[in-house]
A = this chain, B = another copy of it.
Amino acid sequence: MNDLLQKPRKVYVSKQIEFNAAHRLFNHLRSESENYEIYGKCSNKHGHGHNYLLEVTLFGTVDRNSGFLFDLKQLKTILEEEITARFDHKHLNHDVEELRECVPTTEVLAVLIWDILEERLRNINNREISLYEVKIYETGKNAVRYLGQ
């Protein structure tokens, strides 16, 4: 079976999930006016929110037996445990332990999600598969990608 995979084939597999969260861009080591100068309306006192769209991409050689790079049902479980449970319907400044000492910009969020998933995937990874990219669309018009560099 899967003669097309006799020659090893390296592919990128992406999965998107959404989480709905509030945040406020605010550095508590600075004054209100300094924060407003840097972050504008994104530092409004009570916060605002987004439908964050997260795209996670794995890279590696397709398994000849299954024809999969990675079982997407397993990836779904990982994303529910690590991402949905942590961020969905939460306030990033108040509810996410790892962001307590951070300004929760999309850049910082992408870096955090990379760190979380990279560690989780490293432990279950028995083949040549790696996390390739974490991409977050904060709105339909703005996105941040982090590739672990």
Binding site for B on A (CB under 8 A): 1-5, 9-18, 20-23, 25, 27-29, 38, 40-42, 44-51, 62, 65-69, 71-73, 88-91, 93-95, 98, 101-108, 110-112, 115, 139-147, 149
Inter-chain contacts of A65 with B (CB < 8 A) = 27
28 contacts between A and B (CB under 8 A): A2-B101, A2-B102, A4-B98, A4-B111, A5-B108, A9-B107, A12-B144, A14-B145, A16-B140, A20-B49, A20-B50, A21-B49, A22-B22, A22-B47, A25-B67, A42-B89, A44-B90, A46-B90, A47-B47, A48-B89, A49-B50, A51-B51, A51-B140, A62-B107, A62-B111, A67-B102, A67-B105, A69-B107
